[in-house]
Amino acid sequence: MKNFYTTLIAIALFFGANAQQVNQLLASNNIADAKSWSQKRMPLTGDTVVIPSTAVYTIKEDVDFSKQDIYVKVEGKVTLDKATIKLSNNSELVLTSKTASINATSGKGNSIIFVGGAEKYKGSQGLEVGPAYINKNVSTFTEFTPTTLPVKFIGFSVARATTGSMVKWATSEEINASHYDVERSEDGTNWKKIAAVFAIGNSTNVNSYSYTDRSSVNRIAYFRIRQVDIDGRFTYTAVKTITTANTAAAQVSISSTTGNFVLIQLAQQISTPVQVRIITMNGQVVSQQEFKQTGSQIILPKGAAASGAYIVSLTGGSNLNVSKQVML
Q: Which residue range(s) make up the domain with 271? A: 247-327
Which backbone phi and psi does 305 adopt, to 5 degrees?
-70, 125
pLDDT of residue 5: 28
Q: For 59-74, give one letter per residue: b (16+ CB within 10 A) or e.
A: beeebebbebbbbbbb
Q: Is residue 222 part of a domain?
A: yes
| Adjacent-strand bridge partners of 144 | none
166 vs 213: CA distance, rounded Å: 6
On whether both 234 and 309 belong to a single domain, the answer is no
Q: Which pLDDT belongs to residue 180?
A: 92
3 lies in some domain: no
Same domain, 40 and 66: yes
Residue 272 sits in the same domain as residue 200:
no
Alpha-carbon span 326 to 42, nearest angstrom: 48
* Helix segments in the chain, DSSP class H: 247-250
Q: Identify whether 6 is part of a domain.
A: no
- How does pLDDT run across 213-264, given as a tens digit for each residue? 877 666 678 899 988 887 777 788 888 888 764 444 446 677 776 567 777 7
Assess whether 22 and 135 both reside in one domain. Answer: yes
User: What is the Cα–Cα distance from 248 to 317, expressed in whole angstroms?
Assistant: 11
Lowest-confidence region among 11-15, 35-39, 162-166, 196-200: 11-15
Is it the case that residue 144 has pLDDT exceeding 80? no
Does one domain contain both 137 and 17?
yes
Query: Mean pLDDT, the chain, as a whole number?
Result: 76
Does residue 294 fall inside a structural domain? Answer: yes
% of the chain beyond a pLDDT of 90: 7
pLDDT value at 31 more than 50: yes
Q: Report CA dihedral (25, 30, 35, 39) to the nearest 10 degrees.
A: 30
CATH number at residue 309: 2.60.40.3080
- State whether 238 and 323 are in the same domain: no
Q: What is the DSSP string of 42-62?
A: ---TT-EEEE-TTSEEEE-S-
pLDDT of residue 98: 87
pTM of the model: 0.46
Residues 6+ apart with CB under 8 A from 284: none
In a domain, 263, yes or no: yes
Please tell me whether residues 124 and 19 are part of one structural domain.
Answer: yes
Domain boundary among 126, 143, 160: 143
Domain endpoint, select from 143, 172, 191: 143
Instruction: Identify whether 1 is part of a domain.
Output: no
> How do residues 115-140 score in pLDDT, each as one tens digit?
999 999 998 888 999 888 888 888 99
Residue 81 lies in a domain: yes
Q: Are residues 121 and 193 in the same domain?
A: no
Same domain as 208, residue 117? no
- On whether both 260 and 198 belong to a single domain, the answer is no
Confidence at residue 87, expressed as pLDDT on a 0 to 100 scale? 92
Q: Check which CATH number belongs to the domain holding 224 and give it.
A: 2.60.40.10
Question: 3-class DSSP state for residue 35?
Answer: helix
Tell whether 194 is covered by a domain.
yes
Banded pLDDT at 113 (limits 50, 70, 90): very high
- How would you label 156-185 residue by residue, b for 16+ Cβ within 10 Å and e otherwise? bebeeeeeebbbbbbbbbbbbbbbbbbbbb
Q: Single out the residue of 92, 88, 143, 140 nearest to residue 117, CA to CA.
A: 88
Count how many domains the chain has.
3
Single residue among 243, 263, 287 that ends a domain in this structure: 243
SS3 301: strand
- One domain for residues 22 and 138: yes
| Whether residues 21 and 134 fall in one domain | yes
- The angle subtended at Cα 126 by Cα 120 and Cα 132, nearest 5°, is 55
CB-based contacts of 282: which residues, under 8 Å, 6+ apart? Answer: 224, 236, 238, 239
Partners of residue 193 on adjacent β-strands? 183
